[in-house]
Structures are given as structure tokens and as C-alpha cells.
Structure 1
Amino acid sequence: MWGRDRYPLVGMGNVAVLWKLLLSHGAANWRMLAVLALGVLVSSTLLASAPIYARAMADLGLKFSVRDELRGAPSIGAGIEAQQLATPDSLAIREAVEQRIGERLGWFASERSIILESARLTIGETGSEPRERTTLGLLYAIEGFERHVSLEKGHLPVPGDPDGPLQVAMGARAASIARLDPGDHFLLVEELDTCDRIIPETELEPQPPCDLTAIVRYSVPAVLTGIIAIEDPDASFWAAASDRYVLPRAPLVDSGLVLPMVAHVDSVLGELATSYPGQRLSLRWNILADIDRLDQGNFQRAREDILGLNEDLRAYSGYATSALTLSLEAFGRSADFQRAPLTILLIQIAAIALFYVALISVAVVERQGEEIALLRGRGATTSQVVALYALEGLALGLPAILVAPFIAGGVTALLGLTPVFSEISGGELLPVSFELLAFPLAALGAALSIIALTAPALAVASRGLQGQRRVIARPGLGLIQRYYLDVVLV
């Protein structure tokens, strides 16, 4: 209660006196003000959580939808065809391509491996075997393949002596068709001729015969070191193409089966490149995207960088492709529609919190009706009384503005520990990105709370002393009417 002799009438316009009134008022009514402060904080937090929660759900939806559609970590394939192994021009092109891949995809890539694929090589013993009806070999050098295969017999290829044979591994069926066991030596024969071949659209179609006028051959000594099998064909490392590295392929019209074999990448880029720099091959890169680095703010950039890399590599007769671009495009079309309902729901909840603040404000001001009338009777103007309550609301609102976005972010992160999100979040905290919009929305919640506090004060202060006496003399309102529950029901 504000006593009659507690505050002097002189200087009601003085800021110091207004602050003194504010402090004394707060001390006398701290319980009700604490409840009111809680309401202000809740309303500010709910409004601040709208962009934070919507962003977190969008980020979570992006990661879940991409992983669900692409079955794990998505891969991005890039490649250039018709290259030579280690000539100056081919090395310059390879360096330029790897630089473009790093610039475009490095910011969200988790792993990158290079794959070298040779031309079809004749498997022989003397190097003079005719290509017709002869089993062919397809040499691959895959960076990091050792972690994704199981060894059935022998040992995996390792970089060897520059003067020694090239070490390779094969799948069991391919080795059986070639009649090779671990430890067997053979030759991989590169054959160049003047035949103007027509490449069929698919490997199942026969290749038309052609006129042959000249042939040049050179041989690469090789040794089979082991029999391997793919450990997990569905692993992202293989980019859904694991069979091509271990299973025989359909024959061409003038040859036997094509058998894949795998060498250590350092052997091909090192010893083989030194001895046979003009060896024909194709280069491919398999880049695994780290979905955890993608969010609502950068997923469009990721899609544009993949498409941009494809445009960049066209200058080298290359390409870049990934199913990830389609997933990101589909997510972009639906993101805005998914975000709007969440924001509307949170705004509705915030409106309930503001209604709670309004009810508490009405209760606080009505309890202080006599004190407000006393201030008016001692010379205080309506604006001065309203200013007192506005300062009181500001004192409650400023801390709420500062802490509400952080509380909203913390609560949103904790949702990852709840059963509802545990399957998606893995039982860990949800990743949260702070939105700058959260602070203006927190300020809006505080401002609306201040209005909810000052509006009843304005109504009571406008009555004056005589008006307050008439209100007291009237019969009291029921609970429903006193707190405007009748308005809510209507």
C-alpha cells in the first residue's frame, strides 16, 4: 500500500521521484510483479522461439529427408574422360579439376576419393595374344578401397617396387574366369589400332566390326595378390556401383568377358605413371556430402555449387552429378509451407501467454486502484501514473528481451532428448541456429506485455479520485466478468 505521507506531491514530474516511486512500488508488490515478470518472460520466449524452433525443425527435416531418400550419406560424382595417366597436359587438367572440386564442394564434403579406370586391357602371358575372343581386364585404382572390402585369400595390393609387377586384387568370379590364383603373374596388354569403332549405347549391345590396318601393343606386368569381396555394397563409398569393381561384364562382339581388377592408387599414380605416362584412362571422383553441415541457410548454395561444378567441368569434357540436387530442390519447394504452420502455432501459444499477462496486469492494477486514485488526488497526472507503470513494465521487459532468445534456443535444443525426437536426433541435443529475428520478436513480446500493463493503469488513472470512489461503491463483478473471461468465451 502506498501511504498518504509516503511520497511528496512536489516534483511528480521529476525523474528521480518517479524512480523512487517505482522502487517502493516494486518492493511493496514484489509477489504479484514476480508472477507478472514470469508472464512477460514466457510471452517473449514464445515469440522469440518462433523463428528458432521453425529453423531447427526445417534443418532437422532437411537432414532426415535427404538421408531417407538417398539411403545415408549422399555422394557426388565428378569425372573426366579420355585422359592420359601422367603427361604434363593431363596432370594440369587433373590439378585444375581437383581445385574446382575443392572450391565448390569442400565446405560441405566429408570425404573425397579418386577413381582411375583404364581402357580395356588384354589379359595374357606373352603379350602377343590376339584381342579377339580373349579375356579383357579393366584396371581400377580406388583411393581408400581397402577399408571397404573383405579379403578372402592372399593379401591386398600395396605400392611395390617400381621395377616389379603391378599388384592387383580381383573378385572370386573374375579370378576364376581368368584362371588366376593369388601369386600368379600375367600381362596387361594395351592395344592401339586404327579401327574406327562405334561405341554401343549399352554394354549389352554388340559392337559393330571395323576395318583394321595397324596395331601397336605394349604390356604392363602384373601379379594377382588377393581375392576380395565387397563388404557393404550399399555403403556410400561405392556410390551404388560396387558390382562393377568385382563382377565380370558382358563381352564385346570381338572379345571375351571383361574382368575388373583393383590396384593401389599409389601404384598407379606412382610406379605405373612413371613407366607408362601415356596410359589411357578415365578419372572419377566420389565426394561424400556431410549432411550435418547443411541447413536452411545454405542448402540452396550446396545445390548451386553442384550444378556450378558440372558447368565448370564441361571445359574439360567432364561432368558432375548427384541425386542430392533433386532432394534439395524438393526440400526447397516445401520448406516455406512447412515453416508457416509452426510459426502460426507458436504465435497462438504466445497470444495465450499475453492473455495471461493481461489478466495478471488487470489484477495488479485493480488491487492498486485506491493508491492510483490517491496519487491523482495529490496532483499526479494520468500520463505520470501511466509512465510509472510503463517504467515498471520496462524494468520487467528489458531482461526478458535479453535472455528470451537464449532460453528459446536452449529449450529447442533440449527437445532432442525427448522421446518424440529421439529417433531423429539420436537422443542428442537438437542443433540450433540463432536467428536475428528472435530478438525483435522478444522485444515485441515485451512491448505487448507493457501495453497489457499500462492499459489498465490508464483506465484506472482516468477515473480520478471521485471515479474510484464510485467504482468501490458499486457491487463487485463476478470472477468471469472481472477477468474478462466472458469475452474469451464469446
Structure 2
Amino acid sequence: MRSIYSYLGLWRIALRRFSSEPVLTFCLLLGWSVVVALASAPPMYTDAANRSLLQHELQTVPNRSAFSFFYHYVKGSSIAGADWQEYLALNQYMETRYSQDLGLPHRSDMHYVKSDLFQVFPLRDGQYELRDKPLLRGYLGFINRLEDYITVVEGGFPAQENAESGNGEVVNVLVSQAFAVEAGLQVGEGYTLFDPSARTANGAILRLEVPVRIAGIWIPRAESSAKWHLPPASFANVFLVSEETYIGEIGERVPHALTDVGWYRVVDGDSVRAEDVDRFLRRVSFVDRQIQSLIGTTYLELSPVSALRRYQRVATAQAILLLLFSIPILGLVLYFIVLIADSTVKRQQIEISILKSRGATTGQVFSIYLLQGATLGIVALAIGPLLGQKVAQFIGGTRYFMTFNAQTPLQIETTTTSMTYTFAAIGGALFATVLPAMGAARLAIVEAKQEISRRQRRSFWERSYLDFLLLGVASYGYYMLRTQGRIAFLQADVPSDPLDNPLLFLAPALFILAVALVAVRLFPLIALVLSLLWARLGGISMLLAFYNLARTGRVYTSLLLLLILTTSLGTFTASMARTLDANLVARIFYEVGADVTLTEGAALRILPPEDGKPVEEGEEEFVWINMPVDEHRQAPGVRAATRIGDFPVSTRVGSRLVNGRLFGIDRSQFPEVAYFRPD
């Protein structure tokens, strides 16, 4: 209980310190929020951008939802198809457990069954033979909830009670309007569906005739076009009956009634993110195994599985890549936090020493700063992800360098990956905040006063020569870039994207850091040289300034390093972004050739002979007819136009055949139209 009260007291001290240093506290909170925002923005942006591409890719087919699954069973033979018990078990699974096992809410579905192909004859007494020529061919089948998909324009839906005929019970059916017009079918007419090659389950020859009567003619319902997950043309030559009739009567009479069976399922995949893909794909595999266990030859013919794998791979890789590109900026912000925290600790150095002299332990003093960091982390956790969403939206609206266009804003959402990066950033910011307090918490009051009064010691990186080590590493990185050839990505034979190589950005950033550290190390020496030079030129004010910088230059080391890194990295990033944008524009123009390229066909014409005599075959004279280029120049908005010919050619050089391209141009007009770089 006593320890609880002591730590409650530490909370009060930590909160009071915020109010005693409001400006420094605000700067710390700003740094924390920026770190969290910059860390969480890349995964948010990559997830939203790649998800938008995923939706576009999956919805390229009209009336097809993104998360669509089509399970198809087909048996291409007149021998009996799937067992009815297996079918009913699988259909029950699809209706009751499918969405639950897949782990996503159900949106819509479509289910159909078709028989094998029948020959269609007029309805008559007697039997048809194999040599008889049919009127047409068609299938028997049903669509689940048929009334939701079609409109009957003639007749009506089939009655449940079927009439009797000489060949057995007549089945009432529906036919499509296109099929009826093509074959001349009328409502009320009777036909016989005959399969001359039908066999029973054990392979015995079966004489199969199914008398049908046209009960109605249907067309697809306009307002239900989105529900036609399979095109209506797939059922144009199908004699449709109700599901009950097909399972009951047709199932008893037709051994191959389950020849073509399909289940189309659409689920709500809006909640699936890159980190959820593995779990979702495992569920898809589990569902597929369940279906295979019921009917072994049912295959998943349509699914977003391949697109999801690609989406997961690209989104994860791009998030890591963007995070690597943002490491220098994150490092700057963390260094800013260290500077603010160090300034705060130095202001409170005597207070820390007094607390220790009155019985506070090193752990308790350190806990105060740890609690301060935890409080800042809680606030940054509330602010940072929201700010990260704005940053991700801003990135999505950037077309190229300093050009912004948010006509189609991305759907930015907080993901599990972004929260992982957020907590990692909070951990880094917490370490940067408490780092200066680690040494201060160990000093007693006498040691603290001695530390304040003594000349400032060299920094750790100066004592360990970290700047020269980093300079060597940066030089090695530059060497690696040269040996890989990745610097010369503008060459035509190197088609890879320069952004695929983070070393292209990290090596210069590391070189900037190393040179900045070396410059800061040499700053007192440079100030001393300037003071000696200025002593010969005169001017007491500048002389004292240079002399003071030479004596106490290490006081300004941290601020000077921050300024050098900020300006140099900002200049480098802006220069690289503009260079990449200019290169992208140049590559596109070199690929197209000009603002617009129009490919036209040419007509072929046979020239008549000048003397009017007939020309024998093979001696005709041909000429290509092209539209005059002046017609294009007269179009609104066209300032210049020229014609260019592109022909494949090949030539033999020694014993080697070389292929190439031959361009034919108009030398007077080509320079006015073709793209040339400004330099």
C-alpha cells in the first residue's frame, strides 16, 4: 500500500512538471504526435491505395462484385451425374454454414442446376429414334428464386400440378424470349425432350423422353440486373422449371439431372485488410475442403484469391518501403524530441538532485520521467493516428512533386499494421524522451552542480568517432549503388523502378548525416580559424562572437546538427522528387512520342491502267490511301501534327540476323510535334 501511495505521488509530480514547462511540454507533445503520424501514415496509405486497385481489378467485369466466389460442378456425360444426397448436403452447407465458415457476411447469391443436353421434338404419341432430326437442342434446369430474376412477358409461371399425356406427366416450363423467337416457340405448345444416349447409374441404356409444355416466356428483370451474377445468356436455351419440380419430378425421371451445377456467392469483404489476407485465405481453403468432401469434383472457378495474394504482397512491401523512405524524417523528429527532453532535464537538474538528497531513489526519479512519457504517449495515441489519416490522404492526393489533386479521395482507415507501427513509434519516442533522464537520475546534488559548472564534455559520437564510421558506411553504400548499376536507372535497358531500391534514398541520407556530424565536430575549429582571421581585419563584435563560438561551440552542437540535417535532407528530398517526376514525364513522352499519338488504318486501292486495257491477275498496281494530315491540323485544339511510319525491319550482319525498327518521318514537321527534353 505504501508503494502505491508513493507512485501516486510520482504521478502528481509528473503532471505538475507539465504545467511548470508548458512550452517544452507542447513541443514534446508535437514531436510525439508527428512521429506517430509519420509512422502510421505509410501502412494506411498503401492499404487504401492497393485496396482501391484491388476493387478496380476485381470489378472489371460488369455486375461482378469484388468478393465473388463461383463453385462449379459439371459432368460432361449422359451417365448419371452427382448423387442427389450429395447435392442436397452440399446445397444445405452453402445455405447455412458457408458464410459462417468463410468469416464474412453474406450479401447475395445465385444457384442453378442444369441437366445434360436434350434433343427437342414436337409432342406426339409414339417414340423418337436416334436417326430422327430434332427441331433444336436445349437443357432442363432451374434457378433458385427464379421470380427475383425474370419477368414473364407471355403466359405465366409454371403451375405446380403438371398435366398428363400419352408419354407421361407433362412438365410446365419457361423459355427465354430470345430462344422462343429463334426457335418459334409459343406459349401452350408441347414438345418432347429426348436423350438418345441416356444411361442409368449402372451404365444400362435408358430410353429417356420428357414431355414439356411452354407455360411462359421470360426476359431478365431490368431492376434485378445486379443479381444476375451469371449472364442471362447462359440460360437462353434452358427449359426452366421450379426448384421443387426439378428436385422432385425431374430428379426421379432424369438420371443426368445434375450435370451442370453452380453456386455463386457474394460476401462482404470491405473489412478485409492486408494483415487479414492470410487468415481469410485459410478460411477459403477450409471451405473448399468442406465442399470437396461433399462433392469431390466441385471446383472454385472464380474467386479473389490470386488478387488478394497480390494485394497483400504489394501492400506490405510498399508499407515497408515507404517507412524506409521516411526513416530520415522520423530520425529528425526523434532527435528533436531528444533535444527538447534534454533541455527539460537540464532545467530540472537541481530539482532532481534535491529529490535524491531527500531520499528519492534513482528508480523513482527515472519513473517520474517515464510517467511523463507515458502521459504524452496516451495523448499522442489519440491524436497521432487521426493526424496520420490526414497525412495518408494528403499522400494519396499528390499527383507529382508539389502538385495535389484529390478528385477521388482514398478510403483511409486505421489498420492493424498501422497500429503496430504506431506503438513502435510510441516506443521510440518514449526512449528518446527518457534517454536524457537516464544519466541525470544517477547524479547527486554535488555531482549535479559539478556537471553544470564544468566544461561540456564531448558527445558520445565524438568520443567513439561515429561520424567517420558512418561516413565509411555511406561511402560503401554509394559503392554498392554504383556496382549494382541502380544509379543509372534512366537507361533504356534498366526498366526497374528506382523506388524499388531503398538504398537509393538511404545511402545519400546516411552520407548527409555523416557529413553533418563531421561538420559539427569541426565547427569549433572553424570558429577558431575565423576568429584568428578576423583579429587581423578588425571589428571587436565579430571577433568576440567567433571567439565565444570557438570556446563554447559544443553548446550549440545539437541545434547546429538539427539545422544542417533539416535543410540538407529537405533540399535532397525535393531535388530527388523533382528529378523522379521529370524522369517519369520524359519516359512517358518518349514512349508516346508527343502529346497525342493516333494510329489510323489505310485503305488499299487498285489503280486502273492508263490505257484502259484490262490487266491480268497478278499485274495490278496498288496504292495506299491515307487521310491527309491537314485534316488533323484543322481539328480544334491541335497546334501541329505530323505523320510517322513505324516498320519492322531485319538485316544480316555477317552471319547474324539483326531485327530493328524503321521510322519514316516528315523532317520539316517532325521537330514541331515530337517531344524533346528542355535540356
- Normalising by structure 1, report the TM-score: 0.68
Please state how far the C-alpha of 1:284 moved relative to its aligned partner: 1.9
Q: Which residue of 1 aligns with 2:521?
A: none
Q: Which residue of 2 aligns with 1:450?
A: 433
Q: Which residue of 2 aligns with 1:91?
A: 84
Q: Indicate whether 1:219 and 2:210 are aligned.
A: yes
Alignment CA distance shift 1:412-1:380 (3 Å): closer
Please state how far the C-alpha of 1:278 moved relative to its aligned partner: 4.9
Give the alignment partner of residue 21 of structure 2, picking from 14, 17, 29. 29
Distance in 1 separating the partners of 2:393 and 2:564:
37
Q: Which residue of 1 aligns with 2:556?
A: 481
Alignment CA distance shift 1:309-1:45 (3 Å): closer
Give the alignment partner of residue 276 of structure 2, picking from 275, 298, 317. 298
Alignment CA distance shift 1:270-1:349 (3 Å): farther
Please state how far the C-alpha of 1:175 moved relative to its aligned partner: 1.0
Q: Which residue of 1 aligns with 2:297?
A: 318
Alignment CA distance shift 1:406-1:133 (3 Å): farther
Read off the aligned partner of 1:64 and give its amino acid letter.
L
Match of 2:238, SS state, is strand
Alignment CA distance shift 1:171-1:158 (3 Å): closer
- Percent identical across equivalent pairs? 13
Kept in 2, the 8 Å contact 1:169–1:224? The answer is yes
Q: Indicate whether 1:136 and 2:134 are aligned.
A: no
Q: Which residue of 2 aligns with 1:39?
A: 31
Distance in 1 separating the partners of 2:559 and 2:88:
74
Give the alignment partner of residue 265 of structure 1, picking from 237, 243, 247. 243
Alignment CA distance shift 1:453-1:459 (3 Å): same
Alignment CA distance shift 1:32-1:126 (3 Å): same
Distance in 2 separating the partners of 1:419 and 1:230:
44
Alignment CA distance shift 1:150-1:404 (3 Å): farther
Please state how far the C-alpha of 1:375 moved relative to its aligned partner: 6.8
Q: Indicate whether 1:107 and 2:106 are aligned.
A: no
Please state how far the C-alpha of 1:319 moved relative to its aligned partner: 2.0
Alignment CA distance shift 1:297-1:488 (3 Å): same
Kept in 1, the 8 Å contact 2:68–2:266? The answer is yes
Alignment CA distance shift 1:361-1:317 (3 Å): closer
Kept in 2, the 8 Å contact 1:300–1:328? The answer is no
Kept in 1, the 8 Å contact 2:141–2:246? The answer is no
Q: Indicate whether 1:339 and 2:335 are aligned.
A: no
Kept in 2, the 8 Å contact 1:121–1:190? The answer is yes
Q: Which residue of 2 aligns with 1:58?
A: 47
Distance in 2 separating the partners of 1:20 and 1:305:
50
- Tell me the alpha carbon deviations over residues 192-215 of structure 1, each in whole angstroms, 9 at most, x when there is no partner: 54789xxxxxxxxxxxxxxxx976
Read off the aligned partner of 1:160 and give its amino acid letter.
A
Match of 1:78, SS state, is strand
Please state how far the C-alpha of 1:138 moved relative to its aligned partner: 1.5
Distance in 2 separating the partners of 1:489 and 1:335:
34
> Unaligned stretches of 5+ in structure 2?
1-5, 164-169, 399-404, 457-546, 566-679
Kept in 2, the 8 Å contact 1:386–1:458? The answer is yes
RMSD: 4.9
Alignment CA distance shift 1:35-1:68 (3 Å): same
Match of 2:314, SS state, is helix
Q: Which residue of 1 aligns with 2:415?
A: 433
Alignment CA distance shift 1:425-1:167 (3 Å): farther
Kept in 1, the 8 Å contact 2:52–2:410? The answer is no
Higher RCO, 1 or 2 (CA under 8 Å, sep at least 6)? 1
Distance in 2 separating the partners of 1:140 and 1:294:
36
Distance in 2 separating the partners of 1:268 and 1:424:
54
Match of 1:161, SS state, is coil
Please state how far the C-alpha of 1:116 moved relative to its aligned partner: 0.8
Alignment CA distance shift 1:412-1:20 (3 Å): closer
Read off the aligned partner of 2:324 and give its amino acid letter.
I
Q: Which residue of 1 aligns with 2:185?
A: 180
Read off the aligned partner of 2:340 and give its amino acid letter.
I
Give the alignment partner of residue 123 of structure 2, picking from 122, 125, 135. 125
Aligned residues: 433
Q: How does 1:306-385 map to 2 (within 5 A)?
A: 306-307=284-285, 309-310=287-288, 312-314=290-292, 316-321=295-300, 322-345=302-325, 347-366=327-346, 368=347, 372-373=349-350, 380=356
Alignment CA distance shift 1:332-1:168 (3 Å): same
Match of 1:163, SS state, is coil
Distance in 2 separating the partners of 1:372 and 1:469:
12
Match of 1:292, SS state, is coil
Please state how far the C-alpha of 1:397 moved relative to its aligned partner: 1.8
Q: Which residue of 2 aligns with 1:10?
A: none
Alignment CA distance shift 1:160-1:365 (3 Å): same
Alignment CA distance shift 1:309-1:448 (3 Å): closer
Kept in 2, the 8 Å contact 1:125–1:186? The answer is yes
Kept in 2, the 8 Å contact 1:306–1:320? The answer is no
Give the alignment partner of residue 195 of structure 2, picking from 178, 191, 195. 191
Q: Indicate whether 1:163 and 2:124 are aligned.
A: no
Kept in 2, the 8 Å contact 1:190–1:217? The answer is yes
Q: Indicate whether 1:281 and 2:263 are aligned.
A: no
Read off the aligned partner of 1:481 and give its amino acid letter.
Y
Give the alignment partner of residue 116 of structure 1, picking from 93, 106, 113. 113
Kept in 1, the 8 Å contact 2:68–2:265? The answer is yes
Kept in 1, the 8 Å contact 2:339–2:558? The answer is yes
- Tell me the alpha carbon deviations over residues 274-309 of structure 1, each in whole angstroms, 9 at most, x when there is no partner: x74756232221222433243323323444454555
- Normalising by structure 2, report the TM-score: 0.52
- Tell me the alpha carbon deviations over residues 128-163 of structure 1, each in whole angstroms, 9 at most, x when there is no partner: 455632112212312245545566x326x6352323
Distance in 2 separating the partners of 1:60 and 1:388:
47
Alignment CA distance shift 1:446-1:390 (3 Å): farther
Kept in 2, the 8 Å contact 1:172–1:229? The answer is no
Give the alignment partner of residue 234 of structure 2, picking from 224, 239, 244. 244
Alignment CA distance shift 1:220-1:310 (3 Å): farther
Distance in 1 separating the partners of 2:12 and 2:308:
59
Of 218-227 and 412-421, deviating more is 412-421
Read off the aligned partner of 1:295 and give its amino acid letter.
R
Read off the aligned partner of 2:124 and give its amino acid letter.
T
Match of 1:189, SS state, is strand
